[in-house]
Amino acid sequence: MNTKLLLSLLVAATAAVVVAIPSRPAQAVEMKADLVIINANVRTMDGQRPAAEAVAIYGNRIAAIGTTEEVRRLAGAETKMIDARGALVLPGFNDSHVHFLDGGAHLASVQLRDAVTPAEFAERIRRFAETTPKGRWITGGDWDHERWPGAPLPTKELIDKHTPETPVFVNRLDGHMSLANSAALKLAGVTKETKDPPGGLIVRDPLTGEPTGVLKDAAMSFVYAKLPAPSVDEQLAAARAATAHAASFGVTSVQDMSAGNDVGIYQTLAARGELKTRIYAVSPLAAWQRLAATGVRAAFGGEMLRIGGLKGFADGSLGSTTALFFEPYTDAPANRGLPSDEMFPEGAMLKRVRDADRAGLQIMIHAIGDSANDHILSAFEQVTKEHGARDRRFRIEHAQHLRAQDIPRFARAGVVASMQPYHAIDDGRWAEKRIGPERAKTTYAFRSLIDAGATLAFGTDWYVAPLDPLLSIYGAVTRRTLDGKNPQGWVPEQKITVEEAVRAYTVGSAYAEFAESYKGTITPGKLADIVILNQDIFRVEPNEIEKTKVRMTIMDGKIVYQAN
């Protein structure tokens, strides 16, 4: 028997330092841990043993937990000893919803998220264009017009004079709306005569009918079709940047909602030993046959890289007024939002869910508005009834705006609510002008979903929001909006505890990807994915959680990040 496996299976139960190897019964072999954390405040997230003082790691597995005295006995001359000095130790964070390679690429793109006026937005693009090689596009950006006085949408005229020959296509931070300059619109063939595609909108000047440059949801595909594909070297650089960024925030696993054809990039990094993050690589639901034809089913692969999940879209976003609601937007009475192009023709979404489920694949659908959530819950319920009970773990990604009567349906149908708390404290600055105070009562309904028995899996939607899990935990616990105008929390009855938030970021996220048997808790035999923080988020004032930093990240039994 492999000695590493033997230790991981036996040492915690026996607390023994010497273990007999079956193939050599006459000889005892002294087994020593590779890495030991002592004098720690360990919150395991394991209900069987929720707390400990120390952790021993052998290979890439948790070998034992216990008191410092007990675990110190497992250390040898070559064991790396980490004295936590009372610091909080948690399972590595598992972000249930990211756009990983895109996030890595955005780290090197123009930064527009915190531009507070249209003028600053334009100036940042001007400066970035000065350093952009001729012929290369400017993309990314993550602008947020809700920060601007009066919240006007940007227009191509803001930036055309700075970028006459440089194509620009910069997205709003939610990814459901982008601004193209005239050069990009010309390459894409978007003119006054271009019709809106199903599930999309070309924003037009109300007087002339000319495109303003803003394209929403499916209309963005006109420009996407003209964007040059990144080279393999550019993709590898983006993946390296993303995995290093994740490690710096204690994120040891991610579920990449837009992996698509990027699996080979991750496989290359994993083979080179450069991947610091475990990845569940999710493909588009519309391409479900590609996976089904191979015989792959949900969560297929190894501990570092797996496939078998599919992601679809039911609607857009609140910030872009494309989230689909039953009632009109308060600030746009003629608009209820836009169904995704994947919802056309009628019945197309249900058919994809039915077919992909029959193939044994895991299905995750983006739904933000209450009508979109109802539609997807109904589709999941119908397919479950047709195909019979099994462990399928349907997921709704975001599940942001729910009717009260739809909240219990998550638990009854076994649907995972994959949610992003940072969005709540971001959107909460302006959401009520979109949907009013009554609908806001069940917006980001963390408390109501937990009380109803639903499984929550937390993430960030990075690059849409910052990848830092501590900001999301802060958001779920305090619900204090980013503008400081809700010091007691926006919709405070939907607050949850620190324990519940951390559990959603570890145990819940592991369950959401069929991985709870080997990660999500600090339990002997599970993977050695651990984060050490610089303060105890269970004891500090909730408002101080956002200031917490990562001291060390351990993934696969190796230190992959250490603060200076």
> Among 80-89, 95-104, 225-234, 330-339, which stretch is predicted with the lowest mean pLDDT?
225-234
**Helix %, strand %, coil % of the chain (to 5):** 35, 25, 40
pLDDT at 531 over 60: yes
Residue 52 lies in a domain: no
Q: Are residues 140 and 284 in the same domain?
A: no
- The CA distance from 325 to 419, in Å, is 18
How far apart, in whole angstroms, are the C-alpha atoms of residue 144 and residue 124? Answer: 14
What does the radius of gyration of the chain's CA atoms come to, in whole angstroms? 24
Determine contact, residues 531/250, Cβ cutoff 8 Å: yes
* Residue-wise burial string across 487-503, b where 16 or more C-beta atoms lie within 10 A, e elsewhere: eebbbeebbbebebbbb
124 with 156, same domain? yes
Is 528 among the domain residues? no
* HSE, side-chain direction, 13 A CA sphere, residue 152: 11
Torsion of CA 321, 322, 323, 329, to 10 degrees: 40
Does 286 lie in the same domain as 434? yes
Of 224, 249, 265, the domain-final residue: 224
Tell me the β-bridge partners of 141.
111, 171
- What pLDDT, on a 0 to 100 scale, did the predictor assign at position 453? 98
Are residue 181 and residue 266 in the same domain, yes or no? no
The band of 133, judged by pLDDT with boundaries at 50, 70 and 90, is confident
Residue 93 belongs to a domain? no
- Residues near 140 by beta carbon (within 8 Å), at least 6 away in sequence: 105, 106, 109, 110, 170, 171, 463
Q: Are residues 120 and 174 in the same domain?
A: yes
Tokens found for residue 308: 């078998």
Instruction: Please name the residues in contact with 225: beta carbons below 8 A apart, sequence gap of 6 or more.
Output: 188
| Exposure letters 173-205 (e unless 16+ CB within 10 A, then b) | bbbbbbbbbbbbbebbebeeeeeebebbbbbee
How many Cβ atoms from other residues are within 10 Å of residue 438's Cβ?
A: 10
Instruction: Kindly state whether residue 50 falls inside one of the protein's structural domains.
Output: no
Last residue of some domain: 224, 242, 273?
Answer: 224
Is the Cβ–Cβ distance between 509 and 521 less than 8 Å? no
297 and 219 assigned to the same domain = no
Quickly list DSSP for 508-557: IHHHHTT-TTTSSS--TTSB--EEEESS-TTTS-GGGGGG--EEEEEETT
Is residue 288 within 8 A of residue 296, CB to CB? The reply is no
| Position 256 confidence tier, pLDDT thresholds 50, 70, 90 | very high
Residue that finishes a domain, picked among 192, 224, 256: 224
Q: Is the pLDDT of residue 483 over 90?
A: yes
Number of domains making up the chain: 2
119-481-251-275 Cα dihedral, nearest 10 degrees:
-20
CB contact at 8 A, 44 and 89: no
| Six token digits for residue 13 | 């139960």
Mean pLDDT value of segment 206-233: 95
Kindly state whether residue 456 falls inside one of the protein's structural domains. Answer: yes
Q: Are 511 and 517 in contact (CB under 8 A)?
A: no
The tens digit of pLDDT for each residue in 400-433 reads 999 999 999 999 999 999 999 999 999 999 999 9
The per-residue b/e assignment along 60-77, b for 16 or more CB within 10 angstroms, e otherwise, is bbbbbbbebebbbbbbee
Domain assignment present for residue 474? The answer is yes
> Rounded to 5 degrees, what are φ and ψ at 400?
-80, -50
Question: Six-digit token pair at 175?
Answer: 């990814």
Whole-angstrom Cα distance, residue 468 to residue 246?
Answer: 8
Same domain, residue pair 320 and 355: yes
d(CA 451, CA 538): 21
pLDDT number for residue 30: 64
pLDDT tens digits, residue range 45-95?
999 999 999 999 999 999 999 999 999 999 999 999 999 999 999 999 999
Residues 393 and 419 in one domain: yes
The per-residue pLDDT for 108 is 81
CATH number for 509: 3.20.20.140
pTM: 0.87
**pLDDT tens figures, 161-198:** 999 999 999 999 988 999 999 999 999 999 999 999 99
Please give the average per-residue pLDDT across 104-109, as a whole number.
Answer: 88
Q: Are residues 319 and 416 in the same domain?
A: yes
Task: State the Cα–Cα distance between residues 291 and 353, nearest whole angstrom.
Answer: 14
The predicted pLDDT at position 20 comes to 26
User: Is pLDDT of 8 > 90?
Assistant: no
Residues 191 and 290 in one domain: no
Please state, in angstroms and rounded to a whole number, the distance separating the CA atoms of residues 18 and 557.
21
- Are 316 and 239 in a shared domain? yes
Number of neighbours of residue 127 by Cβ within 10 angstroms: 11
pLDDT higher than 50, residue 27: no
CATH number for the domain harbouring residue 177: 3.10.310.70
Identify the three-state secondary structure at position 347: coil
Task: Answer whether residue 65 is part of any domain.
Answer: no
Indicate whether 543 belongs to any domain. no
160 and 307 belong to one structural domain? no
Burial class (CB in 10 A: 0-12, 13-18, 19+), 153: middle
Query: Average pLDDT for residues 364-368, to the nearest whole number?
Result: 98
Q: Per-residue pLDDT averaged across 23-48, rounded? A: 80
Is residue 386 within 8 Å of 379, Cβ to Cβ? no
Question: For residue 126, what are the domain limits?
Answer: 106-224
> What is the rounded CA–CA span in Å between residue 49 and residue 45?
8
Please report, as a single letter, which amino acid is at residue 351.
Answer: K
Residue spans of beta strands (DSSP E) within 406-544: 416-419, 456-458, 530-533
